[in-house]
Amino acid sequence: MPYLFTSESVSEGHPDKVADQISDAILDEYLRQDPASKVACETLVTTDFALVAGEIKSKAHVEAEPIIRDVIRRIGYDKPEYLFNADTCEVMNRLHEQSADINQGVERAKPEEQGAGDQGMMFGYATRETENYMPLALDLSHRLLRELSAIRKAGQEMTYLRPDAKSQVTIRYNDDNTPVAIETIVVSTQHDEFDQDEQTMLKQIEQDIKTILVPRVKAQLGEEVQALFTDDITYHINPTGKFVIGGPHGDSGLTGRKIIVDTYGGKGAHGGGAFSGKDSSKVDRSAAYAARHIAKNLAAAGVADQVLVQVAYAIGVAEPVGVFVTTYGTTKATGSFGQQLTDGEIAERVQKLFDLRPYAIVQRLGLQNPIFAESAAYGHMGRQPGTKQVQNADGTTRTVETFTWEKLDYVDRIKAEFGL
Q: Are residues 155 and 235 in the same domain?
A: yes
Which residues does the annotation place in the binding site for ATP? 14, 164-166, 242-243, 251, 257-258, 274, 278
Do 356 and 289 fall into the same domain?
A: yes
In a domain, 364, yes or no: yes
pLDDT in tens, 146-189: 999 999 999 999 999 999 999 999 999 999 899 999 999 999 99
**Residue 42, pLDDT score:** 98
89 lies in some domain: no
In a domain, 313, yes or no: yes
- Higher-confidence residue of 143 and 242: namely 143
The reply to whether 295 and 353 lie within a common domain is yes
Question: 296 and 205, same structural domain?
Answer: no
∠ CA 357-295-281, rounded to 5°: 30
Is 383 inside any structural domain?
yes
Per-residue CA distances from 375 to 92, 147, 312, 416 (Å): 24, 16, 23, 32
Which is it for the CA torsion 404, 409, 411, 416, positive or negative? Answer: negative
Structural domains in the chain (count): 2
Q: How confident is the model at residue 59 (pLDDT cuts 50, 70, 90)?
A: very high
In a domain, 75, yes or no: no
Pairing of strands 38-46, 253-254: antiparallel
In a domain, 389, yes or no: yes
Within its chain, how far is the Cα of 152 from the centroid?
21
Are 301 and 405 part of one and the same domain? yes
- Band the pLDDT of 119: cuts 50, 70, 90: confident
Residue 126: strand, helix, or coil? strand
Where is the binding site for L-methionine, in residues?
55, 98, 251, 282
Same domain, 240 and 287: no
* Residue 108 pLDDT greater than 60, yes or no: no
Q: Are strands 234-237 and 179-191 parallel, antiparallel or unpaired?
A: parallel
CA angle 310–178–259, rounded 5-degree value: 40
The annotated binding site for K(+) is made up of 42
Q: Does residue 298 sit in the same domain as residue 175?
A: no
Amino acid symbol at 392: N
User: Could you tell me what percent of the chain has a pLDDT over 70?
Assistant: 96
* pTM metric for this prediction: 0.95
Q: What is the pLDDT of residues 337-352, one digit of tens each?
A: 778 899 999 999 999 9
Residues of each annotated binding site for Mg(2+) = 16
Which residues form the domain of 150? 3-9+137-246
Mean pLDDT of 243-266: 96
- Residue numbers in the known binding site are 14, 16, 42, 55, 98, 164-166, 242-243, 251, 257-258, 274, 278, 282
- Residues 2, 386: Cα–Cα separation, whole Å: 38
H/E stretch holding 138: helix 136-154
- pLDDT tens digit string along 390-418? 998 888 999 999 999 999 999 999 999 99
Q: Which helix (H) or strand (E) holds 125?
A: strand 120-127
How buried is 222 (Cβ within 10 angstroms: 0-12 exposed, 13-18 middle, 19+ buried)? exposed
Q: Is the same domain home to 225 and 347? A: no
Other Cβ atoms within 10 Å of 249 Cβ, number: 21
Asked if the structure places residue 63 within a domain, the reply is: no
Neighbours of 147 (CB within 10 A): 18
230 lies in the same domain as 332:
no
Sequence-ordered strand ranges (E) for 174-237: 179-191, 234-237
Residues 217 and 142 in one domain: yes
Q: Give the CATH number, domain containing residue 182.
A: 3.30.300.10
Q: Is residue 273 in some structural domain?
A: no
